[in-house]
Each structure stands twice: as C-alpha cells, then as structure tokens.
Amino acid sequence: MFGELLVTAGVVVMLFVVWQLWIGDMIGAARNTAEAQSLAEEWSAQATDPPAEPTASPDPSEQPTEAPAEDAPIEPVVAAEPGDGQEFGIMYIPRFGPDYQVRIGGGVSRARTLDTIGIGHYPGTQMPGEVGNFAVAAHRTGYGGAPFYRIAELHVGDAIIIETQDGWYTYRFRTLEYVRPSAVEVLNAVPQDTVAGTGERYLTMTSCSPKHTIMERIIGYSVFDSFTPRSAGAPAELTEQVS
C-alpha cells in the first residue's frame, strides 16, 4: 500500500514538472501572443484616427524649413519611463518565429510584470531609442510564457524590434555573456566596453542560466539600428528572413 502511494506521488510530481516546464510555457506563450496582437492593433487603430483640424492658418511669411535627406536616419522618439506593471511595448524577434510577440511592462517584479506581462524594464535604465542602455528581463521557463527561453540561439546581426505607441525601434544582436547574479554592471549606460562605446544606444536582455535554474545570468547585448515612426508603417525587419 505504501509503495503504491509512493508511485502515485511520483506520477503526480512528474505530471506537475511536465506542466511547469512545457505545457504551461506553451499556454503562456500563446496568451502573450494574443494579448500582444491586441495591443498592437489598438495602437494601429489610434494612429489611423483622422487628424484634428488645424487651429490656425500657416503664416505665409515664414520660410519653409529644409527637408531632411531621404537617407538621413530618423531621430527616435523617447517616451517617459513607465510605471510599475504598466505596459508600454512589444518585442519581436524574427529568429524565434512569426508568432513571437511579447509585451513589455515597467518594473521587473514577478507578481506585476514578469509572471503576468512577460518582459520587464529595469527602472532607471534608458527607454527604447534613448542614448544609453535599455535593459529588460524575462524568464526562460515556467512563467509568463518563458519569453527568453531561446535567447542563447540568437545570431550576430539578428533583428530585435521593440514596438511602442510611437513606432518601431530596431536593434541588432551583438553578443552573449554569462555573469553572476550580482553583476549589476550589465545595467550600466555602457553595459560592456567591448560592445561599442559611449554615446550609443543599447538593448540588454537578462535572464537566468542554465535553463530552469538561477545559478547564473545570461545576458544578450544588442546595438540600436534604426527607428521607424508609426506613420511610416511597420519596418521590413519584422518579416526578416533568418537562416
């Protein structure tokens, strides 16, 4: 009888592990995709609303300003830092497939952001497109759909796109690093001296390593590539082919 109870308990534990490590992640990822799509559609609908009527006629005496060159990079819009648990962005990574769409929220607490929204923004670090380090965190398993489960599969040059209400910010992946949990310097404005240098715009992605443990941290560094305003439509990088 006691042996049967042990076998039953073992089966229950195994089923829980399977749920926690695989089925739960799949359900969470599907939920993240659906909610991210809904948020993107909301921003798109707001952008297509008819513009307000002008309040005054332009002054004919004013000289027109010189139009920027067609190939000149567009200066990115920098939004204010979000509140804790406030959704403000969506991350896309073509390397992870067309269904990879994960919401980003303010803060990195499990209860308000990582377990419920997916990806969290470290308070005090920069925002998308801002000079400095836009640093984020996410799980690799078990909660919130494990958004960074495949972070170690990124290739140099892979596009990582952040969508906000203002438009799309494209970063290009550079390198991975493994550090101790105490290595808070990865959140510095210049996170790694070998990435580039001061005056640049970075994206730093942090998660646990190895998978299913918290012994170390895996850090993914990317460098800003371009900004696409919402009025210009989604960038080609969203459907970029990867091999």
Nearest CA among 85, 81, 82, 142 for reference residue 108: 85
- Tell me, what's the pLDDT at 18? 42
d(CA 119, CA 206): 10
Is 6 domain-assigned? no
pLDDT digits (tens), the chain, 243 positions: 655 555 454 444 454 444 454 455 555 556 667 777 788 888 978 866 544 454 555 555 555 555 455 567 899 999 999 999 999 999 999 999 999 999 999 999 999 999 999 999 999 999 999 999 999 999 998 665 799 999 999 999 999 999 999 999 999 999 999 999 999 999 999 987 655 556 799 999 999 998 877 789 999 999 999 999 999 999 999 988 887
Which pLDDT belongs to residue 22? 47
Residue 125 inside a domain? The answer is yes
Q: What is the pLDDT of residue 33?
A: 72
Residue 231 located in a structural domain: yes
**Is 221 part of any domain?**
yes
Residue-number span of the structural domain to which 180 is assigned? 87-239
pTM: 0.79
- What does the buried/exposed string (b/e) look like for 144-181 if buried means 16 or more CB atoms within 10 Å of the residue's CB? bbbbbbebeebeeebbbbbbbbbbbbbbbbbeebeeee
Structure-block tokens of residue 47: 């952008």
34 in a structural domain: no
Q: Is residue 127 part of a domain?
A: yes
**pLDDT at residue 15, rounded to an integer:** 44
In this structure, what CATH number is given to the domain that contains residue 216?
A: 2.40.260.10
pLDDT at 241: 80
Tally of domains within the chain:
1
Residue 80 lies in a domain: no
Task: Tell me, yes or no, whether 35 lies in a domain.
Answer: no
